[in-house]
Chain A
């Protein structure tokens, strides 16, 4: 398999007046050619910081303090801003959460998308650029594409603005598209349209997608592999079916139990995960999820669990998978033995 993206032991921190916020604390994963991978987690889990580290777009005091990010085999950590600009947009592009604020309100949308083309190919004439933008607008299904080039962002609805953002991201046919909660600000009906669109452009262009979201439903619709993040670490990694059917981390299990599905018995209470996420200035010494985990043992509070492999492409950071873990009251041991 061909790795588009290879992240090794990435550490990213923000230096604030109250201390170093260790937002990402050693994350390793790969993205293969043409696959769509989901990164799931709640706010503060480090999922967005991971994607911004890949893009080298960390704001203000954010620094990659360790690890490596390889895109198409080339190391990105340590590249100059100028070198990074030739890669951004061309090899890796990003769609942001808020289509309202990520477009410039003073510049017509056609020009904003055209700028992306221009910055990577200065030889393109204005007419050629406009023709390409019309093609892109048609590809993202903006109706009457040729007439919308001169429109300003405020003349578009939220869903249409997100289409413009997607057109911009696709302009230079990137190998990897990072989508950071691209549908969170949108209504379900529009979210559905955007997800369909992303599926179809992926099929057309064969690129890889890294999809960052807190919504397990969206992941189920779009991704083939999932990373579950918590407290700056990848807690579980598995293919889409195993994550939902054979989760091997209490956090993943908790996430799944806390969303009602449409067949939920209404008399039954939802099972929330008690407590709240850890403080990343002083991350817990042990497993970051231990204070909220119903199965936590003493070792969980003291020592960070290593990554346990539990089958083809399935791994989990949980002491319950250790050889010495007790088997009574252990939800993961029983499950593992139950497997053929």
Chain B
């Protein structure tokens, strides 16, 4: 044993959804990345770029069309649901909408205990009670909250319940699908700090999906940028903000409103023109060429591959490698 395999490794992951008229939605197309233990990979992109589909395919809510998913070096993409059960314990998900992702008819105790019951972790009711109240305390709720229902809580408190449910099985990989975008600014920071605290304490590995780029930079070690189902750029988090290479990343970054009026009024903004094309008939060649200010004939015909431009910095763009 010289080297630990990454907690999550994804190779050529593809997810197509059939739609009427014998067409397919190219939700995820040939995406590859890996995340090592205790690290966070941030996935960013506009809505419809496939970041959530990617997460849901990894956790096998959706069946992958093609590609491999390796959890701790073991392939899980070919397992059936029953074989998958022991691996489900190792990967959990925190959802975007703390209103829709908690069952309104279950008490908070039952919501948090459900994963324990599904995996038959506790041998007695007492053990279950102890684990749940311990977990509640760790997410900053108290024992009295256990017998209440989700509607009695604020958005931030509900998201804490969602986090407690995801972490009670002590998973290795936690997929956070926009965990803070439905929360108020003052609450977002609370939740992010809590996620970081648990990561340090439990050596959790995060796949953090968000469209708030400044928050992604703050929580992630590495960042992947997705566009129309494909990974177009991937590198260390600070690097992507300091030296973005792909014209899409550059446009996305310059679209972020800066909470600094002097900078906001002074800077020349480029931004992105137009809308995301349909993933049913993605543009040929580079999928970004319809909105790219530098598109050439080559971009319209030939699909660029994700290649290393400098150490650890991968980008799929002809322009970077042609100059």
Chain A interface (Cβ within 8 Å of chain B)? Answer: 42-43, 157-160, 187-193, 195-196, 214-221, 240-241, 244, 254-256, 258-262, 264, 266, 269-274, 276-277
Contacts and interface: CB of A to CB of B under 8 A. Distances in A.
B188 to A, nearest CB: 7
B70 interface: no
Given A217-B256, A272-B187, A157 B271 contact: no
Interface stretch (B5-13, B170-178, B209-217, B303-311): B209-217
A259 B259 contact: yes
A195 B264 CA distance: 12
A261 B193 contact: no
B189 A220 contact: no
A225 to B, nearest CB: 11
A192 B157 contact: no
Contacts of B196: 269
Contacts of A215: 185, 257
A117 to B, nearest CB: 27
27 contacts: A43-B155, A157-B276, A187-B211, A188-B211, A188-B255, A188-B256, A189-B46, A189-B252, A196-B271, A216-B259, A217-B259, A218-B257, A220-B257, A221-B257, A221-B264, A244-B259, A244-B260, A244-B261, A258-B186, A259-B189, A262-B214, A266-B217, A272-B187, A272-B193, A273-B190, A276-B157, A276-B187
A189 B272 contact: yes
Nearest to B251: A189
B47 A220 contact: no
Contacts of A266: 217-218, 237-238
Contact of B185 (A159, A216, A240, A269): A216
6 shortest interchain CB distances as A-B pairs: A217-B257, A272-B189, A192-B255, A42-B184, A258-B189, A273-B186
A159 B154 CA distance: 30
A191 B184 contact: no
Nearest to B218: A260
Given A221-B258, A273-B186, A274-B190, A188 B252 contact: yes
Contacts of A259: 185, 189, 214, 259
A214 B273 CA distance: 25
Interface string B236-269: 0110010000000001101111111111100001
A219 B196 CA distance: 28
A274 B215 CA distance: 19
B153 to A, nearest CB: 9
Given A269-B196, A272-B190, A261 B260 contact: yes
B127 to A, nearest CB: 31
A84 B256 CA distance: 38
B202 interface: no
- The interface centre, meaning the residue of B186, B258, B273 with most chain A CB atoms within 10 A of its CB, is B186
B67 interface: no
Residue picked from A189, A258, A259, most chain B C-beta under 10 Å: A189
Main secondary structure of the interface of B (DSSP, over half): helix
A258 B214 contact: no
Contact of B193 (A195, A216, A255, A269): A269
Contact of A42 (B185, B241, B252): B185
B258 A276 contact: no
A269 B200 CA distance: 13
B192 interface: yes
Nearest to A279: B154
A191 B257 CA distance: 9
B156 interface: yes
Nearest to B255: A192
Contact of A220 (B213, B218, B264, B275): B264
Contacts of B156: 276
Interface string B198-237: 0000000000000101110110000000000000000001
B217 A260 contact: yes
A261 B186 contact: no
B261 to A, nearest CB: 4
Quick one: which of B47, B185, B193, B261 has the most chain A CB within 10 A? B261
Contacts of B275: 157, 159-160, 190
A281 B184 CA distance: 20
Given A188-B211, A244-B259, A277-B154, 11 more contacts: A42-B184, A42-B187, A160-B275, A188-B252, A189-B46, A189-B252, A191-B257, A192-B254, A272-B193, A273-B189, A273-B190
A254 B186 CA distance: 8
Contacts of B260: 220, 244, 261
Contacts of B264: 217, 220-221
Given A42-B184, A217-B258, A270 B218 contact: yes
Contacts of B272: 189, 192-193
A196 B241 CA distance: 23
Contacts of A195: 257
A259 B241 CA distance: 17
B262 A193 contact: no
A157 B260 CA distance: 30
A266 B219 CA distance: 7
